[in-house]
Structure 1
Amino acid sequence: MPESKKRKKPAAARPEARPGAVKPSPSWWAPTMVVLMVLGLVGVVLTYLTQGNLPVPGLGNWNLAIGFGVMLVGFFMTLRWR
């Protein structure tokens, strides 16, 4: 039995990228991620060195929680980095 000819789709109808393709991260993603991790680390170190008086006076040991929270946001950003 003869095989039928395969038709080519017009160029305009072809999708440029696959629908499930992963898009790369924006150019600001990696620097923001690194800055957040470093700022969190600096906040934690300052809290330990100044016994809770810095980076925000009056918060005490909550400065540790803020520093770890900022670092955590930076680390979670690494999960979405492409």
Structure 2
Amino acid sequence: MALNKKRDDDKQVYKAPRNLGKAETENPKWLLPTALTLLIIGPAWIVVYYISKGQWPAPIGDLNLLVGFAFMAASMVLLTRWK
């Protein structure tokens, strides 16, 4: 009897399906363009704020930094849903 020969009962082993209960779904068409747009708008908002010395894009002072980071955070939230 050879030691490295497979036994006949090894061929009968049940293997569960990989995606049991999960349907394969595609990304919504709007997800990636929206996430990338937000990812571009956020840093652009902050850069415009610094270049204009606080005059633009909105007259809210240092809260412009918060707005820029909020755009980037929203983009990251959307990118976590990307499959």
Residue aligning to 1:51: 53
Distance (whole Å) between structure 1 residues aligned to residue 80 and residue 62 of structure 2? 28
Residue aligning to 2:79: 78
> Once superposed, what is the RMSD of the aligned Cα atoms?
1.7
Aligned residues between the structures: 65
Asked if 1:62 is matched to 2:41, the reply is: no
Residue aligning to 1:6: none
Moved over 3 A (4+): none
Q: CA deviation at 1:50?
A: 1.3
Amino acid of the residue matched to residue 56 of structure 1?
A
The TM-score normalised by the length of structure 1 is 0.70
Give per-residue Cα distances to partners, 1:11-40, cap 9 Å, x unaligned. xxxxxx953234221111100000011011
Residue aligning to 2:25: 23
Identical residues among aligned pairs (%): 31
Give per-residue Cα distances to partners, 1:30-78, cap 9 Å, x unaligned. 0000001101111010111112221112x01100100110111001211
